[in-house]
C-alpha cells in the first residue's frame, strides 16, 4: 500500500503575520514577505502555507491568488494552539549590534518570554532598535516552528530595571565574582529574570546595587570567563533545562 503523504508537507513555508487569524480569514500579503513566498518559495495559487499571529497559534492557509508583487491567502484550519511559554525574562546589556541580534535570535529559539535591554555603565552600545530585534526573533521563530514570540521591552537603565522589578520573581544575577550553583537556583525559580552584564562587566556600584535588591540571587556560570552573548544563552539554556 502506498503511504499517504503528510499534509501539509514539511517543506511548507511558515510566516508570522500581524492580522488575527481564524478559519475563513482572507488576507493580502505584500512587501518582503510576498517576495519571499513568490520569488524564493515559488508559491502559486493552490499552494499551502502556515501562518502564525503570536496569539492564536499556527494555521494552515492556501494561496487564493498570486500576482507579481502580492498574494491573497485564505486560512483553512488551525494546526495547533499557541504554545505555553516558560515565565523567563532575559535582561541583558546591549552589546555590539551583530552579537546583540544573535542573542535576541537565540533567546527566541530557547523560549524566553520577555527580552529586556538594560543599559549599564560599561555598555559599548547605548541605542537599541526593538523593531530590529523583533525581526530577528520572527525569522528564528519561523524557522524553528515556534508559535510564540518574546515580548521586546524598550531599553531602560539598570536603576529603573531594579526599581520596577516585580515581587514574586527571582532576579538571577550572573555574578562575575561567583555565587550559588546556577542549576540549584534555577530549579527553585519558576518565575525568573536572568540579568547579564555588558562586555566590560558590571561596575562596582552596579554590582552592589544588584546584590542589595531583595529579589536578587547571585549565581556562578562556571569556572570559565564567558563573553556576554555566550553567558546570556548558556544561562537561559540552564534555566530551561532545570524546569523540565
pLDDT tens, position by position, 164-177:
999 999 999 988 88
Q: Tell me what pLDDT residue 17 has.
A: 95
Task: Give the C-alpha separation, 243 to 49, whole Å.
Answer: 33
Task: Give the C-alpha separation, 82 to 242, whole Å.
Answer: 23
Predicted structure pTM score: 0.91
C-alpha grid cell, residue 102 = 544573535
Q: Tell me what pLDDT residue 131 has.
A: 93
Residue 14 has pLDDT above 80, yes or no: yes
Residue 48 has pLDDT above 80, yes or no: yes
Residue 87 has pLDDT above 80, yes or no: yes
Q: Tell me what pLDDT residue 5 has.
A: 59
Residue 200 has pLDDT above 90, yes or no: no
- The residue whose grid cell reads 544561562 is 235
Residue 190 has pLDDT above 80, yes or no: yes
Residue 4 has pLDDT above 60, yes or no: no
Q: Tell me what pLDDT residue 178 has.
A: 81
Q: Tell me what pLDDT residue 225 has.
A: 83
Q: Could you please report the per-residue DSSP string of the chain? A: -PPPPPSS-TT--EEE-SSPP-TT-EEEE-HHHHHIIIIIS---TT-EEEEE-SSS-EEEEEEEEE-SS-EEEEEEEEEEPPPP---EEEEE----HHHHHHHHHHHHHHT-SEEEEEE-TT-S-----HHHHHHHHHHHHHHHT-S---EEPPPEEHHHHHHTPPTT-EEEEE-TT--EEHHHHHHT-SSEEEEE--TT---HHHHHHHHHSTTEEEEE--SS---HHHHHHHHHHHHHHHT-
Residue 81 has pLDDT above 80, yes or no: yes
pLDDT confidence tier of residue 144, bands split at 50, 70 and 90 = very high
Of 125 and 22, the one with more pLDDT: 22
C-alpha grid cell, residue 174 = 550572573
Percent of the chain beyond pLDDT 70?
Answer: 98
* CA–centroid distance for 118 within its chain: 16
Amino acid at each position: 500500500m502506498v503511504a499517504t503523504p503528510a499534509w501539509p508537507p514539511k517543506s511548507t513555508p511558515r510566516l508570522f503575520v500581524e492580522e488575527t487569524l481564524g478559519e475563513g480569514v482572507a488576507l493580502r500579503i505584500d512587501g518582503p514577505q510576498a517576495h519571499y513566498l513568490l520569488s524564493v518559495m515559488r508559491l502559486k495559487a493552490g499552494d499551502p502555507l502556515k501562518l502564525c499571529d503570536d496569539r492564536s497559534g499556527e494555521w494552515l492557509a492556501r494561496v487564493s491568488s498570486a500576482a507579481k508583487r502580492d498574494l491573497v491567502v485564505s486560512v483553512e484550519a488551525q494546526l495547533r494552539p499557541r504554545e505555553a511559554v516558560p515565565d523567563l525574562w532575559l535582561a541583558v546589556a546591549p552589546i555590539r549590534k551583530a552579537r546583540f541580534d544573535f542573542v535576541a535570535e537565540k533567546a527566541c529559539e530557547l523560549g524566553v518570554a520577555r527580552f529586556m535591554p538594560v543599559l549599564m555603565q560599561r555598555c559599548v552600545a547605548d541605542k537599541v532598535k526593538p523593531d530590529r530585534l523583533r525581526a530577528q526573533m520572527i525569522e528564528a521563530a519561523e524557522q524553528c516552528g515556534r508559535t510564540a514570540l518574546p515580548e521586546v521591552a524598550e531599553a531602560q537603565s539598570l536603576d529603573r530595571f531594579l526599581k520596577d522589578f516585580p515581587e514574586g520573581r527571582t532576579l538571577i544575577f550572573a555574578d562575575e565574582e561567583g555565587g550559588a550553583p546556577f542549576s540549584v537556583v534555577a530549579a527553585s525559580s519558576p518565575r525568573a529574570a536572568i540579568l547579564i552584564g555588558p562586555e566590560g562587566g558590571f561596575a562596582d556600584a552596579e554590582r552592589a546595587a544588584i546584590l542589595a535588591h531583595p529579589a536578587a540571587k547571585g549565581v556562578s556560570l562556571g569556572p570559565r570567563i564567558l563573553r556576554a552573548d555566550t553567558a546570556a544563552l548558556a544561562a537561559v539554556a540552564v534555566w530551561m533545562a532545570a524546569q523540565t
